[in-house]
Amino acid sequence: MTPDPSPYDALLLVSFGGPEKPEDVVPFLENVTRGRGIPRERLEEVGQHYFLFGGRSPINDQNREFLDALRADLAGAGLDIPVYWGNRNWDPYLTDTVRQMAADGVRRAACFVTSAYSSYSSCRQYRENLFDAVAATEEGGATAPRLDKLRHYFNHPGFVEPLVDATLMALAGLPAAVRDGAHLAFVTHSIPEAMNEGSGTEGGAYATQHRSVADVVVDRVQQETGRRHDHALVFCSRSGAPHVPWLEPDINDHLGKLKADGVPAVVMVPVGFVSDHMEVIYDLDTEAMATAGELGLPAARAATAGLDPRFVAVVRDLLLERAAVERGEEVARASVGSYPPCWNVCPAGCCPNPRAARPALCGSDG
Could you tell me if 203 and 322 lie in one domain?
no
What was the pLDDT predicted at 1? 79
Could you tell me if 206 and 188 lie in one domain?
yes
H, E, C per residue of 245-269: CECCCEHHHHHHHHHHCCCCCEEEE
Domain ranges, residue 34: 10-154+307-326
What was the pLDDT predicted at 40? 81
Phi, psi of 270 (to 5 degrees): -75, 70
Could you tell me if 266 and 311 lie in one domain?
no
**Do the domain assignments include residue 366?**
no
Could you tell me if 215 and 253 lie in one domain?
yes
CB 118 within 8 A of CB 342: yes
Could you tell me if 93 and 188 lie in one domain?
no
**What gap in Å lies between CA 252 and CA 352, rounded to an integer?**
30
Could you tell me if 149 and 192 lie in one domain?
no
Could you tell me if 169 and 289 lie in one domain?
yes
CB 144 within 8 A of CB 102: yes
Digit-coded pLDDT (tens) for 293-350: 999 999 999 999 999 999 999 999 999 999 999 999 999 999 999 999 999 999 998 9
Residue 147: helix, strand or coil by DSSP? strand
Could you tell me if 182 and 82 lie in one domain?
no
Could you tell me if 316 and 283 lie in one domain?
no
What was the pLDDT predicted at 71? 98
**Do the domain assignments include residue 18?**
yes
**Do the domain assignments include residue 191?**
yes
What was the pLDDT predicted at 39? 77
Answer whether 0.85 is exceeded by the pTM.
Answer: yes
**Do the domain assignments include residue 335?**
no
What was the pLDDT predicted at 2? 86
Task: Give the CA distances from residue 200 to residues 31, 128, 178, 248, 268, in Å, rounded to whole numbers and listed in that order.
Answer: 26, 16, 38, 19, 26
What was the pLDDT predicted at 38? 75
**Do the domain assignments include residue 331?**
no
Q: How many domains does the chain have?
A: 2
Could you tell me if 49 and 145 lie in one domain?
yes
Backbone region of residue 71 per phi and psi (left: phi > 0; alpha: psi in -120 to 50; beta: other values):
alpha
Could you tell me if 250 and 144 lie in one domain?
no
**Do the domain assignments include residue 363?**
no
Partners of 147 in the β-ladder: 109
**What gap in Å lies between CA 23 and CA 25, rounded to an integer?**
6
By DSSP bridging, strand 266-269 and strand 183-189 are parallel
**Do the domain assignments include residue 296?**
yes
If we measure between CA atoms, which residue out of 339, 16, 352 comes closest to residue 159? 339
Could you tell me if 292 and 244 lie in one domain?
yes
If we measure between CA atoms, which residue out of 275, 262, 285, 219 comes closest to residue 49? 285
Give the domain CATH number at 172.
3.40.50.1400
**Do the domain assignments include residue 334?**
no
The one-character DSSP state at 229 is: P
Digit-coded pLDDT (tens) for 127-140: 999 999 999 999 99
Low-confidence ranges of the chain (pLDDT < 50): none
